[in-house]
Amino acid sequence: MLKRSLMTPGPTDIPPDVLLEAAQPSMHHRTPQFSAILAKASKGLKEIFQTRGPVLTLFSSGTGGMEAAVANLVLPGEKILVASIGNFGERWGKIAAAYGAQVEKLYYAWGQAVKPAEVDKRLRANKDIKLVFTQHNETSTGVCNDIQALAKVAHKHGALLVVDAISSMGVIPYFTDKWGVDVTISGSQKGFMIPPGLAFIHLSSRAWQRVKRKKQAGNHGYFYFDLTAARDKLKDPKSPTSPWTPSVSLVRQLKVAVDMVVGEGMEALWARHHRLAEAMRAAVKALKLEFFAVANRSDAITSVKVPKGIDGAALVKKFRDEWGVTIAGGQGDLKGKIFRIGHMGYAEEKDIIQAVGVLELILKEMGYKFTLGVGVTAVLKSFAKK
């Protein structure tokens, strides 16, 4: 028997209280009881997003939230800028192209971060661009972008900044209002500690004005992802709800998880994730492995190059099948070349100790030369500093 755990960049392990909530009897979604749960969850989402404005819950994966942003903001034929540092940043370009946008690409080598000065240069050269799309934490590489700086650059040129924060929200410090981010999207299966199936989106007043203008123009090209309808239904003072049939059990789980996150406190939560990431990074250095992320390394995920002579796919498989710990390999051209260990959501110190211990045993078995125990010792020393 294997006791299994998830240490991927999502989905993440789910707390027992959140799991148990899904086993409760179902309820009708057009009732005061469900409205009360949705309202409480939505209030907590505002605290997590660090905003005073409404955070909408959409019943889709995070990619659905990304598509909703494009559908409600982008006009057919409009030129937009996508500043990408990995697989999920490039997804912005694919979605926008599907909606008829002209995509100006500022794509960086995977492992790099967006340089705000280069975004500034592109916007100076393309004064008709009024939408910039990027990601906060790139899940495929473990690199973070400086969203505050990018928001300043976008606003300097009269553009809106749209951010994929799917794998960073509730993990890494993010200040929606303070930074002036116009659109932020997140998802349920990472820092929010519930199963996949919900997306969350916040729009600034500037972004809502743009949504209004597109809708008034007619033939706006969306139905299910109508953010105006979602906002208006959530604002209903008597029975806040959703325009379409919601995922009732997931919303109930969301409310429990949000209470846990808010109860921990955002500063304490961010500090916990930083502590876990620092310990993992200490282990990587002690084992003389090479980080894949060149700069701005994430507190949500650590990406590591597979050592020469080691089968990367086999390493990930051994983690899962022989030790019951699921980590992630590389995506796209990075398949077999890197492995990614997530430390977000329902994660604590002993999860890092376990992951590094398993990593050492697998590397030793596969012929990597090092002194057994140096990685775990580095983790313990890192935790002993707190």
Residue percentage of the chain with pLDDT more than 90: 95
Neighbouring C-beta atoms of residue 157, cutoff 10 Å: 17
- Of the pLDDT bands very low, low, confident and very high (cuts 50, 70, 90), residue 386 is low
Calpha distance 370→279 (Å, rounded): 18
And the tokens for 332?
Answer: 């796209």
Neighbouring C-beta atoms of residue 221, cutoff 10 Å: 14
Question: Which one is predicted more confidently, 237 or 37?
Answer: 37
Calpha distance 199→188 (Å, rounded): 6
pLDDT tens-place string over residues 51-70: 999 999 999 999 999 999 99
Residue 220 has pLDDT above 80, yes or no: no
357 residue type, one letter: G
Neighbouring C-beta atoms of residue 129, cutoff 10 Å: 19
Sequence ranges of the domains in the chain: 5-10+265-384, 17-262
Calpha distance 166→200 (Å, rounded): 9
pLDDT tens-place string over residues 13-23: 999 999 999 99
Q: Return the pLDDT at 174.
A: 98
Q: Return the pLDDT at 216.
A: 86
And the tokens for 62?
Answer: 């995070």
Question: Residues 217-232: what's their mean pLDDT?
Answer: 90
Residue 206 has pLDDT above 90, yes or no: yes
Calpha distance 131→171 (Å, rounded): 26
Q: Return the pLDDT at 342.
A: 98
Rg of the chain in Å (alpha carbons): 21
CATH superfamily entry for domain 5-10+265-384: Aspartate Aminotransferase, domain 1 (3.90.1150.10)
pLDDT tens-place string over residues 276-307: 999 999 999 999 999 999 889 999 999 999 99
pTM: 0.96
Residue 175 has pLDDT above 90, yes or no: yes
Instruction: Using CB atoms within 10 Å of the CB of residue 215, give its burial: 0 to 12 exposed, 13 to 18 middle, 19+ buried.
Output: middle
Instruction: Return all residues near 242 (Cβ < 8 A) that are at least 6 apart.
Output: 29, 38, 57, 59, 230, 233, 234
Render the burial of 35-67: b for 16+ CB within 10 Å, e for the rest: bebbbebbebbbebbbbebbbbbbbbbbbbbbb
And the tokens for 117?
Answer: 């000065």
Q: How far apart are the first and last CA of the chain?
A: 35
Sign, CA dihedral 215-217-218-220, equals negative
Domains 5-10+265-384 and 17-262 share a fold: no
As a CATH number, domain 17-262 is 3.40.640.10
- Of the pLDDT bands very low, low, confident and very high (cuts 50, 70, 90), residue 1 is confident
